[in-house]
Amino acid sequence: MLELSKNGKRYSLKSSTAMPKASGFLWNKNMMIQVTCRGYAIAQFMQPEPSKYTYQPMVEGKIFMLPEQPFFSHSPGRFFYIKDEETGELFSVPYEPCRVDAQDFEFSVGKGDLRWTVKHLGLEIRLELSIPTADVVELWLLEVVNTSGRARKISVYPYIPFGFMSWMNQSAQYRQDLGGVVGSCVTPYQKLEDYYKNKDLKDKTFFLHDRTPDAWEACRDTFEGEGGIHRPTGTQQEMLNCGDALYETPAGVLQYRLQLDAGQQEKFRFLLGPAFDDAEIMATRDKYFADEEFAGSRKAYAEYVESFRGVISIDTPDKHFDNFVNEWLPRQVFYHGDVNRLSTDPQTRNYLQDSMGMSYISPEVTKKAFLWALAQQEESGAMPDGILLREDAELKYINQIPHTDHCVWLPVCLRAYLNETNDFEFLQTEVKDWKGDRVLTVFERISAAMRWLQMDRDERGLNYIAQGDWNDPMNMVGYKGKGVSGWLSVATSYGLQLWADVCEQVGDLVSASQFRQGAEEINQAVNEHIWDGDWYGRGITDDGVLFGSAKDAEGRIFLNPQSWALMAGTPSAEQAQKLLNAVDEQLNTPYGVMMLAPAYTAMRDDVGRVTQKHPGAAENGSIYNHAAAFYAWGLYCVGDAERAYDVVRKMIAGPDEGDLLQRGHIPVSIPNYYRGAYHQFPRTAGRSSQLFNTGTVSWVYRSIIEGLFGLQGCSNGLLVKPNLPAHWPTAHVLRDFRGASFDVKYTRTGEVTALQITVDNKRLAGSVIQSIERGKVYKVVVRLPL
């Protein structure tokens, strides 16, 4: 039995059996943690590269987060065993590792904390995790209430398996002086130079308590013994052994023996995190245990949470949609803009798109990010494959692979910032090369980037793809230097048009005309070489083969070229209808729109890595939400309100939250994908990747603001051009914009035959609300024909 309920800003999942893998996540400037309702946790922090403080069994790849992360019995978790000392019964909270079905189980995901309430054997166990706004430390609250109506004797054992910390040196001890178990290791290295890289790493893991335990253990094997993780030998003894781990697998285990009167309640606080040395552990302890029930930290985090508010608050017939857009979507947008997915070298396209989302939350961040990125522009005008966030960072693996699309994100993402802020002065800001003396304005740099993009085309006028474009794993289409990208070509066209608009707005009419003409040429070239009869192909390989084409048995149609062609105005009306039909027929599913279909089931070595990914997962035929978001944006660009809403709604949830939960997801985020290959592998289709790192969210937010509700900034005010789905009779939106507030009521009515807008009861001529005054509240009524 699975049940999801919502209470204010919280979701609650109730379960008696069949535990799902749903999870919530938290982050701050320096860390993030994802915890499943079962108790498994993936935590990461920066120093400056991504690091762990609870470890997987073996050496982990820490570079990127995994979709559909598999768990194992000894995957890192936060486990709390409860033992009835009179009967010997044992269970664990949240659920792992004992997996005992509790009488009541509740997992509650807030914006600033995760909570569990488990009722079992006449006890109520409340567990809560929060984190502070900056320090890397987990703040755990545990409450145990005797609800049985009689006196009880129990033992409570918090158990944090530290995992296999290092093959070089690992140990753990209970530290009376620090008040908890401290694991230590040396990050393995062999080369001398790696010593200098590693020597300042936080190689300690601490698990501290605010109440002295009756016993403890620091060695996993001693604690678990033959009983195993699901019934540790340590819990079968009267007292833990109080031992240490000496090059044995470290763990933090405490034992509290409690005698509880009927109704008695006991509270415990714990701190878990990494540290460099004892002094740091001591400082953390003093700081957080001085804070009663972590109240100060929780308040500060709540304030931080409030800073994630977006620019719209909506009230529509779709309450689930409202809740997600009002509460959770801006939070996920902020997450991306705030921490850049915990990387020191985000891919340029991700960095710019994540920053685009901040236009709606904290435009100063968008501005800074553009300046930071543009300072790393190459002399040719090209943008590098990744943006280094620190002087000592370096472009790693994926960013050493030449991709050709990075420039296109500059005008595309900047447009959202300009729409929102009208900050054209920004274009005149001077940017100095971060490792050189060349100084150019933002406008000059982006113009150079667009010229580079225009130049980086073949004799047909199509953009080269090199070892990949937006779709990373498409790495064998053009590695010989000839292959071209259909998608990038239309994206370039779209970018050139957007930039031509900006050139016009700043009065550079010559450039505007050049760019516009360039876009026109590309559209023609694409229609000549890439149009496949009923949709656009994905590209042409080094050997001149059009792929993503009707003649292909797999990878017959790709979503991205269709989406961006719509943005770029490439297709004629007839072509547009054909491609929309093709997407409906071949890519749309009850769970969303697939990125390509049919998914590749075998290697195709003129396409590359995408064909090696598992069909229906990751990019190979999944419902890759980032691509779906572009499709929604493209649909809004051409005013296709119904299709666009269908795409966005499916991305946010299935038919309802319950359906989404069945697919492994709590609707507090959009995952990077849902499993696709809907016709090929129906058993797994729709399943959530549970990975919340995705370029999707800034585009969804923009699509909802500018597309769905049509509340888009322009140089002279707020353009009102809604695309509400026909089945919504009304909608109500509060929109913050350029210092003013817009209270917008939409009504679909037979009284009008065309869009009719009144502002403060006055009929608006045209569709732009002009001369906006800061601080003013505008009452806007939008009447739509039936």
Q: Which residues are catalytic?
A: 472
Joined tokens for residue 526: 């694409």
Contact 125, 59 (CB under 8 A): no
Query: Which one among 134, 151, 239, 246 touches a second copy, defined by CB under 8 A?
Result: 246
Query: Which one among 617, 627, 637, 724 touches a second copy, defined by CB under 8 A?
Result: 617
| Nearer Cβ to a second copy (676/717) | 676
Near a second copy in 375-404, by CB under 8 A: 397-398, 400-401
Which region, judged by CB under 8 A, interacts with a second copy, from 3-11, 247-255, 352-360, 501-509?
A: 247-255
Q: What are the angstrom distances between the C-alpha of 204 and each of 173, 209, 737?
A: 11, 16, 47
| Nearer Cβ to a second copy (226/379) | 226
| Nearer Cβ to a second copy (228/590) | 228
Q: Is 502 exposed, middle or buried (0-12, 13-18, 19+ CB in 10 A)?
A: buried
Mind spelling out the 3-state secondary structure of 328-390?
HHHHHHHHHHHHCCCCCCCEHHHHHHHHHHHHHCCHHHHHHHHHHHHCCCCCCCCCCCECCCC
Query: Which one among 7, 8, 61, 436 touches a second copy, defined by CB under 8 A?
Result: 61
Which region, judged by CB under 8 A, interacts with a second copy, from 50-58, 127-135, 270-278, 498-506?
A: 50-58
618 near a second copy (CB under 8 A): yes
Query: Which one among 177, 200, 226, 292 touches a second copy, defined by CB under 8 A?
Result: 226
Joined tokens for residue 9: 């800003």
* Amino acid of residue 423: D
Near a second copy in 710-769, by CB under 8 A: none
Site string for a second copy, 63-102 (x = CB under 8 A): ---xxx-x-xxxx---------------------x-x---
Distance between CA atoms of 221 and 251, rounded to whole angstroms?
Answer: 9
| Nearer Cβ to a second copy (100/734) | 100
| Nearer Cβ to a second copy (592/615) | 615
Which region, judged by CB under 8 A, interacts with a second copy, from 138-146, 337-345, 430-438, 677-685?
A: 677-685
Query: Which one among 237, 264, 441, 612 touches a second copy, defined by CB under 8 A?
Result: 612
Joined tokens for residue 600: 């590749």
Q: What are the angstrom distances between the C-alpha of 43 and each of 51, 63, 308, 624?
A: 9, 13, 22, 24
Query: Which one among 327, 472, 552, 640 touches a second copy, defined by CB under 8 A?
Result: 472
Which region, judged by CB under 8 A, interacts with a second copy, from 51-59, 252-260, 299-307, 370-378?
A: 51-59
How long a stretch of residues is the chain? 786
In the complex, minimum distance from the CB of residue 723 to a second copy, in angstroms, rounded to a whole number: 35
| Nearer Cβ to a second copy (541/563) | 541
Contact 342, 44 (CB under 8 A): yes
Cross-strand bridge partners of residue 547: 539
Mind spelling out the 3-state secondary structure of 197-260?
HHCCCCCEEEEEECCCCCEEEEEHHHHHHHHCCCCCHHHHCCCCCCCCEECCCEEEEEEEEEEE
Near a second copy in 477-516, by CB under 8 A: 479
Site string for a second copy, 6-45 (x = CB under 8 A): -----------xxx--------------------------
Q: Indicate the SS3 state at residue 544.
A: coil
Q: Indicate the SS3 state at residue 422.
A: coil
Q: Give the rounded distance of the alpha carbon of 389 from its chain centre.
A: 19
57 near a second copy (CB under 8 A): yes
Query: Which one among 4, 229, 375, 668 touches a second copy, defined by CB under 8 A?
Result: 229
Q: What DSSP element (H or E) covers 266?
A: strand 265-275
In the complex, minimum distance from the CB of residue 675 to a second copy, in angstroms, rounded to a whole number: 8
Distance between CA atoms of 557 and 563, rounded to whole angstroms?
Answer: 12
In the complex, minimum distance from the CB of residue 193 to a second copy, in angstroms, rounded to a whole number: 10
In the complex, minimum distance from the CB of residue 529 to a second copy, in angstroms, rounded to a whole number: 24
| Nearer Cβ to a second copy (58/510) | 58
Please name which of 552, 540, 699, 575 lies closest in space to residue 627, comparing C-alpha atoms: 699
Q: Is 190 exposed, middle or buried (0-12, 13-18, 19+ CB in 10 A)?
A: exposed
In the complex, minimum distance from the CB of residue 472 to a second copy, in angstroms, rounded to a whole number: 7
56 near a second copy (CB under 8 A): yes
| Nearer Cβ to a second copy (168/509) | 168
Joined tokens for residue 277: 């040395």
Binding stretches for a second copy (CB under 8 A) = 17-19, 56-61, 66-68, 70, 72-75, 97, 99, 164, 167-171, 186, 189-192, 195, 226-230, 246-249, 397-398, 400-401, 467, 472-473, 475-476, 479, 608-609, 612-618, 675, 681, 683-684
